[in-house]
Amino acid sequence: MFTFPLLLTIYAGFTHAFEADHLLAVTNIVSRRNHIWLSVKDGIFWGLGHSSTILLIGVLMIMFKVGISEHSFHYFEATVGLMLIALAVYRLQKFFRGKKLIIHTHGHLHSHSHSHSADEHKHLHVHFAPKQNFKHTQLHVHTHDHSHKLAYGVGLVHGLAGSGALVVLVMAQIKSPFDGLVYLVIFSAGCIGGMLVAAGLFSVPFSKKLIQAPVLQTLLIVATSVLCLVYGGKVIYDNIMLL
Protein backbone atom coordinates (compact mmCIF):
# COMPACT_ATOMS: atom_id res chain seq x y z
CA MET A 1 0.00 0.00 0.00
CA PHE A 2 1.40 3.43 0.89
CA THR A 3 5.14 3.67 1.42
CA PHE A 4 5.06 6.93 3.34
CA PRO A 5 3.82 7.74 6.85
CA LEU A 6 0.64 9.80 6.89
CA LEU A 7 1.53 12.08 9.82
CA LEU A 8 4.99 12.85 8.44
CA THR A 9 3.46 13.89 5.11
CA ILE A 10 0.95 16.19 6.80
CA TYR A 11 3.73 17.64 8.94
CA ALA A 12 5.86 18.29 5.84
CA GLY A 13 2.97 20.18 4.22
CA PHE A 14 2.22 22.08 7.43
CA THR A 15 5.82 23.30 7.86
CA HIS A 16 6.06 24.10 4.14
CA ALA A 17 3.42 26.81 4.72
CA PHE A 18 5.77 28.59 7.14
CA GLU A 19 8.56 29.24 4.64
CA ALA A 20 9.68 32.88 4.47
CA ASP A 21 8.24 33.75 1.04
CA HIS A 22 4.89 32.21 1.94
CA LEU A 23 4.66 34.14 5.20
CA LEU A 24 5.60 37.45 3.58
CA ALA A 25 2.92 37.05 0.91
CA VAL A 26 0.21 36.03 3.35
CA THR A 27 1.12 38.79 5.84
CA ASN A 28 0.64 41.36 3.08
CA ILE A 29 -2.72 39.83 2.19
CA VAL A 30 -4.12 39.61 5.74
CA SER A 31 -2.93 43.14 6.59
CA ARG A 32 -6.06 44.28 4.71
CA ARG A 33 -8.26 42.60 7.30
CA ASN A 34 -9.31 43.56 10.80
CA HIS A 35 -11.24 40.33 11.45
CA ILE A 36 -9.30 37.15 12.14
CA TRP A 37 -11.98 34.98 10.48
CA LEU A 38 -11.50 36.78 7.14
CA SER A 39 -7.73 36.35 7.50
CA VAL A 40 -8.13 32.63 8.20
CA LYS A 41 -10.28 32.30 5.07
CA ASP A 42 -7.54 34.10 3.12
CA GLY A 43 -5.11 31.48 4.43
CA ILE A 44 -7.42 28.66 3.33
CA PHE A 45 -7.81 30.12 -0.16
CA TRP A 46 -4.05 30.69 -0.42
CA GLY A 47 -3.54 27.03 0.47
CA LEU A 48 -6.14 25.93 -2.09
CA GLY A 49 -4.44 27.96 -4.82
CA HIS A 50 -1.00 26.62 -3.86
CA SER A 51 -2.31 23.05 -3.84
CA SER A 52 -4.00 23.48 -7.24
CA THR A 53 -0.66 24.28 -8.89
CA ILE A 54 1.21 21.48 -7.13
CA LEU A 55 -1.43 18.92 -8.10
CA LEU A 56 -1.53 20.16 -11.70
CA ILE A 57 2.25 19.85 -12.08
CA GLY A 58 2.12 16.51 -10.23
CA VAL A 59 -0.48 15.10 -12.63
CA LEU A 60 1.51 16.30 -15.67
CA MET A 61 4.79 14.84 -14.42
CA ILE A 62 3.61 11.66 -12.68
CA MET A 63 0.62 10.54 -14.72
CA PHE A 64 1.40 11.96 -18.18
CA LYS A 65 5.21 11.77 -17.91
CA VAL A 66 5.59 15.39 -19.01
CA GLY A 67 9.19 16.47 -18.68
CA ILE A 68 9.84 19.97 -17.29
CA SER A 69 13.45 21.15 -17.40
CA GLU A 70 15.27 22.41 -14.33
CA HIS A 71 15.73 25.79 -16.01
CA SER A 72 11.95 26.15 -16.33
CA PHE A 73 11.57 25.92 -12.57
CA HIS A 74 14.10 28.75 -12.15
CA TYR A 75 11.78 30.89 -14.25
CA PHE A 76 8.83 29.71 -12.16
CA GLU A 77 10.66 30.82 -9.02
CA ALA A 78 11.45 34.19 -10.61
CA THR A 79 7.74 34.61 -11.41
CA VAL A 80 7.01 34.13 -7.73
CA GLY A 81 9.58 36.83 -6.90
CA LEU A 82 7.89 39.19 -9.36
CA MET A 83 4.53 38.41 -7.78
CA LEU A 84 5.89 39.26 -4.31
CA ILE A 85 7.05 42.65 -5.60
CA ALA A 86 3.69 43.30 -7.28
CA LEU A 87 1.85 42.28 -4.11
CA ALA A 88 3.91 44.68 -1.97
CA VAL A 89 3.36 47.58 -4.38
CA TYR A 90 -0.36 46.81 -4.56
CA ARG A 91 -0.64 46.70 -0.75
CA LEU A 92 1.16 50.02 -0.28
CA GLN A 93 -0.88 51.68 -3.01
CA LYS A 94 -4.17 50.45 -1.50
CA PHE A 95 -3.14 51.50 2.00
CA PHE A 96 -2.06 55.06 1.16
CA ARG A 97 -4.96 55.59 -1.22
CA GLY A 98 -7.29 54.56 1.60
CA LYS A 99 -5.67 57.12 3.89
CA LYS A 100 -6.15 59.88 1.31
CA LEU A 101 -9.80 58.87 0.90
CA ILE A 102 -10.39 59.16 4.65
CA ILE A 103 -8.73 62.60 4.77
CA HIS A 104 -10.83 63.90 1.89
CA THR A 105 -13.97 62.38 3.37
CA HIS A 106 -13.56 63.79 6.86
CA GLY A 107 -12.80 67.32 5.86
CA HIS A 108 -12.15 69.80 3.10
CA LEU A 109 -9.05 72.01 3.26
CA HIS A 110 -8.89 75.22 1.26
CA SER A 111 -7.95 78.88 1.56
CA HIS A 112 -9.87 82.17 1.67
CA SER A 113 -8.62 85.64 0.98
CA HIS A 114 -9.08 88.12 3.82
CA SER A 115 -8.53 91.87 3.95
CA HIS A 116 -7.13 93.47 7.08
CA SER A 117 -6.91 97.25 6.63
CA ALA A 118 -5.01 97.74 3.37
CA ASP A 119 -3.35 94.32 3.39
CA GLU A 120 -4.86 91.24 1.80
CA HIS A 121 -3.63 87.73 2.58
CA LYS A 122 -4.87 84.14 2.74
CA HIS A 123 -5.83 81.87 5.62
CA LEU A 124 -6.23 78.10 5.49
CA HIS A 125 -9.59 76.77 6.59
CA VAL A 126 -10.82 73.24 7.25
CA HIS A 127 -14.51 72.52 6.70
CA PHE A 128 -15.92 69.27 8.08
CA ALA A 129 -18.98 67.48 6.80
CA PRO A 130 -22.18 67.90 8.82
CA LYS A 131 -22.76 65.35 11.57
CA GLN A 132 -25.79 63.85 9.90
CA ASN A 133 -23.72 63.04 6.79
CA PHE A 134 -20.62 61.88 8.68
CA LYS A 135 -22.10 58.56 9.83
CA HIS A 136 -23.11 57.73 6.30
CA THR A 137 -19.65 58.60 5.00
CA GLN A 138 -17.91 56.54 7.70
CA LEU A 139 -19.96 53.51 6.77
CA HIS A 140 -18.95 53.90 3.16
CA VAL A 141 -15.23 54.37 3.85
CA HIS A 142 -14.90 51.34 6.08
CA THR A 143 -16.68 48.90 3.79
CA HIS A 144 -14.44 45.82 3.50
CA ASP A 145 -13.79 43.49 0.61
CA HIS A 146 -14.86 39.97 1.57
CA SER A 147 -13.54 38.42 -1.64
CA HIS A 148 -10.69 35.93 -1.39
CA LYS A 149 -9.72 35.93 -5.07
CA LEU A 150 -6.43 37.72 -4.34
CA ALA A 151 -5.39 35.08 -1.79
CA TYR A 152 -6.28 32.24 -4.18
CA GLY A 153 -4.43 33.88 -7.08
CA VAL A 154 -1.30 34.50 -5.01
CA GLY A 155 -1.38 30.88 -3.80
CA LEU A 156 -1.81 29.69 -7.39
CA VAL A 157 1.37 31.49 -8.50
CA HIS A 158 3.18 30.55 -5.30
CA GLY A 159 2.64 26.87 -5.98
CA LEU A 160 5.19 27.21 -8.78
CA ALA A 161 7.96 27.78 -6.23
CA GLY A 162 9.51 24.45 -5.35
CA SER A 163 6.72 22.40 -6.91
CA GLY A 164 9.03 20.74 -9.42
CA ALA A 165 11.55 19.70 -6.76
CA LEU A 166 8.72 18.31 -4.65
CA VAL A 167 7.26 16.24 -7.51
CA VAL A 168 10.70 14.93 -8.53
CA LEU A 169 11.33 13.91 -4.90
CA VAL A 170 8.00 12.08 -4.78
CA MET A 171 8.75 10.31 -8.06
CA ALA A 172 12.12 9.17 -6.70
CA GLN A 173 10.71 7.89 -3.41
CA ILE A 174 7.37 6.45 -4.54
CA LYS A 175 7.14 4.17 -7.57
CA SER A 176 3.36 3.95 -7.85
CA PRO A 177 1.79 6.96 -9.68
CA PHE A 178 -1.36 6.61 -7.58
CA ASP A 179 0.60 6.65 -4.32
CA GLY A 180 2.54 9.66 -5.59
CA LEU A 181 -0.65 11.63 -6.23
CA VAL A 182 -2.07 10.62 -2.85
CA TYR A 183 1.14 11.89 -1.24
CA LEU A 184 0.69 15.27 -2.98
CA VAL A 185 -2.96 15.48 -1.88
CA ILE A 186 -2.06 14.78 1.77
CA PHE A 187 0.90 17.19 1.55
CA SER A 188 -1.46 19.85 0.17
CA ALA A 189 -3.94 19.26 3.01
CA GLY A 190 -1.14 19.84 5.53
CA CYS A 191 -0.11 22.97 3.64
CA ILE A 192 -3.67 24.35 3.77
CA GLY A 193 -3.79 23.66 7.51
CA GLY A 194 -0.44 25.36 8.04
CA MET A 195 -1.44 28.43 6.07
CA LEU A 196 -4.75 28.63 7.93
CA VAL A 197 -2.82 28.81 11.22
CA ALA A 198 -0.20 31.21 9.83
CA ALA A 199 -2.81 33.60 8.43
CA GLY A 200 -4.67 33.63 11.75
CA LEU A 201 -1.50 34.31 13.76
CA PHE A 202 -0.13 37.00 11.46
CA SER A 203 -3.47 38.81 11.33
CA VAL A 204 -3.41 39.48 15.09
CA PRO A 205 -1.25 42.66 14.81
CA PHE A 206 -3.81 44.06 12.34
CA SER A 207 -6.83 43.31 14.54
CA LYS A 208 -9.27 46.03 15.65
CA LYS A 209 -7.42 46.74 18.91
CA LEU A 210 -4.10 47.59 17.27
CA ILE A 211 -5.49 49.01 14.06
CA GLN A 212 -6.74 52.00 16.07
CA ALA A 213 -3.09 53.11 16.48
CA PRO A 214 -2.43 54.75 13.06
CA VAL A 215 1.35 55.04 13.50
CA LEU A 216 1.73 51.37 14.46
CA GLN A 217 -0.54 50.29 11.63
CA THR A 218 1.48 52.30 9.09
CA LEU A 219 4.79 50.94 10.40
CA LEU A 220 3.60 47.33 10.23
CA ILE A 221 2.20 47.62 6.72
CA VAL A 222 5.21 49.52 5.35
CA ALA A 223 7.67 47.13 7.05
CA THR A 224 6.01 43.95 5.73
CA SER A 225 5.66 45.44 2.25
CA VAL A 226 9.32 46.51 2.12
CA LEU A 227 10.40 43.04 3.26
CA CYS A 228 8.22 41.56 0.53
CA LEU A 229 9.83 43.87 -2.05
CA VAL A 230 13.37 43.01 -0.94
CA TYR A 231 12.74 39.26 -0.77
CA GLY A 232 11.01 39.29 -4.16
CA GLY A 233 14.02 41.05 -5.67
CA LYS A 234 16.35 38.49 -4.10
CA VAL A 235 14.33 35.58 -5.54
CA ILE A 236 14.47 37.12 -9.02
CA TYR A 237 18.22 37.77 -8.71
CA ASP A 238 18.98 34.24 -7.46
CA ASN A 239 16.98 32.55 -10.23
CA ILE A 240 17.63 34.78 -13.25
CA MET A 241 20.85 36.72 -12.74
CA LEU A 242 22.80 33.76 -11.37
CA LEU A 243 21.80 31.29 -14.08
Tens digit of each residue's pLDDT, the chain (243 residues): 455 578 888 999 999 999 999 999 999 999 988 888 999 999 999 999 999 999 999 899 888 888 888 888 899 999 999 999 999 999 999 988 877 665 555 444 444 555 555 555 454 544 444 544 444 444 344 445 678 999 999 999 999 888 867 887 787 778 788 888 888 999 999 999 999 999 999 998 877 666 667 788 888 899 999 999 999 999 999 999 876
Instruction: Kindly state whether residue 218 falls inside one of the protein's structural domains.
Output: yes
The predicted pLDDT at position 233 comes to 96
User: Coil, helix or strand for 19?
Assistant: coil
Indicate yes or no: pTM above 0.95: no
Q: Is residue 58 part of a domain?
A: yes
| Burial state string for 1-23 with b = 16 or more CB within 10 A and e = fewer than 16 | eeebeeeebbebbbebbeeebbb
Q: Is residue 226 part of a domain?
A: yes
For residue 4, give the DSSP letter: S
Please give the pLDDT value at position 102: 57
Question: What pLDDT is stored for residue 208 in this prediction?
Answer: 67
Count of structural domains within the chain: 1
Query: What pLDDT does 4 receive?
Result: 57
**Nearest to 102, CA basis, from 142, 73, 63, 69:** 142
Asked if the structure places residue 85 within a domain, the reply is yes
**Residue 171 included in any domain:** yes
Question: Domain range for residue 221?
Answer: 7-103+152-241
For residue 126, being part of any structural domain is answered with no
Indicate whether 63 belongs to any domain. yes
**Position 127 in a domain:** no
Closest CA to 200 of 48, 88, 38: 38
